């Protein structure tokens, strides 16, 4: 899909950019002429992603654990040195594994899922805002999920974390509006990536999911990429505090 979003020369940080939705966002941003930094916890995955993206000069990889404040600080310091001041942060890191009921979950499991999804989003958004406020310009875009609004078996803590991201989006949008920083999120339904493969690769589960989606299919990564790029563009300068649902109509039923 050839759409020019006017992002050439803009500097992006995409967390969790070594695979799935994050990798596809990075790929399209590079195609648009943006400078892109992707981060992840494993250098092996980052190097593989860089190879897949062709290792262009406007790509920078950083190994970092975004739930650790000191590593988030190092991430932004490295990006500033390699590419320049960050214009747009895309909070894409997400992690889930099937859990028992929240009431039966051990605290360590709770903490791991909350740290990766919610605390990491807070820490990166906080660090981005520190840089963007003096310039009175910037955008923060987070990847939420329709799981934030519907209790789903095995995904309770993940949904709670994503609900926190949606409120964080609203709160930050109000706090950062005086600095001309727009803060938004997108909330997809299930997307066909390795992250969700345990669900869509099961024919029975796949067919059950399809029946709940009026458009009759599971989302592909590109269905999420372009709304994110729109929110990063000048066309969304008067949009803030919003969560754009991308679910093929699933939540209207």
pLDDT band at 2 (very low <50, low <70, confident <90, very high): confident
The whole-number average pLDDT for the span 184-192 is: 92
Distance CA 241, CA 141 (A): 10
User: Which CATH fold would you assign to the domain 11-192+221-246?
Assistant: Rossmann fold (3.40.50)
Distance CA 66, CA 72 (A): 5
pLDDT band at 95 (very low <50, low <70, confident <90, very high): confident
Residue corresponding to tokens 């500097």: 11
Two tokens at 2? 């050839």
Structure confidence by residue, pLDDT tens digits, 61-92:
999 999 999 999 999 999 999 999 999 999 99
| pLDDT at residue 207 tops 80 | yes
β-pairing, 138-143 vs 35-40, is: unpaired
Q: pTM for this structure? A: 0.95
Catalytic residue set = 158
pLDDT at 14: 98
37 has which bridge partners? 13, 60
Domain coordinates of the chain in residue numbers?
Answer: 11-192+221-246
């Amino acid at each position: 899909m050839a759409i020019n979003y006017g992002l050439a020369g803009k500097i992006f940080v995409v967390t969790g950019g070594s695979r799935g939705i994050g990798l596809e966002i990075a790929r399209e941003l590079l195609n648009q002429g943006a400078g892109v930094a992707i981060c992840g916890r494993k250098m092996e995955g980052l190097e593989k992603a860089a190879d897949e993206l062709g290792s262009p000069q406007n790509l920078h990889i950083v190994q970092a654990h975004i739930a650790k404040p000191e590593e988030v600080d190092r991430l932004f310091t490295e990006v500033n040195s390699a590419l320049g001041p960050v214009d747009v942060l895309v909070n894409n890191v997400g992690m889930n594994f099937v859990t028992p009921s929240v009431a039966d979950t051990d605290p360590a499991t709770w903490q791991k899922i909350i740290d990766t999804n919610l605390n990491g989003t807070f820490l990166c958004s906080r660090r981005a805002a520190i840089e963007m406020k003096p310039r009175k310009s910037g955008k923060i875009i987070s990847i939420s999920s329709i799981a934030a609004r519907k209790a789903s078996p095995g995904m309770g803590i993940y949904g709670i974390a994503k609900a926190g991201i949606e409120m964080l989006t609203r709160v930050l949008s109000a706090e950062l509006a005086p600095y001309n920083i727009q803060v938004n999120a997108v909330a997809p339904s299930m997307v066909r990536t390795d992250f969700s493969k345990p669900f869509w690769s099961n024919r029975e589960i796949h067919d059950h999911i399809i029946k709940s989606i009026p458009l009759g299919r599971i989302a592909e990564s590109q269905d999420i990429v372009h709304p994110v790029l729109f929110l990063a563009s000048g066309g969304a300068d008067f949009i803030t505090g919003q969560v754009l649902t991308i679910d093929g109509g699933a939540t209207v039923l």
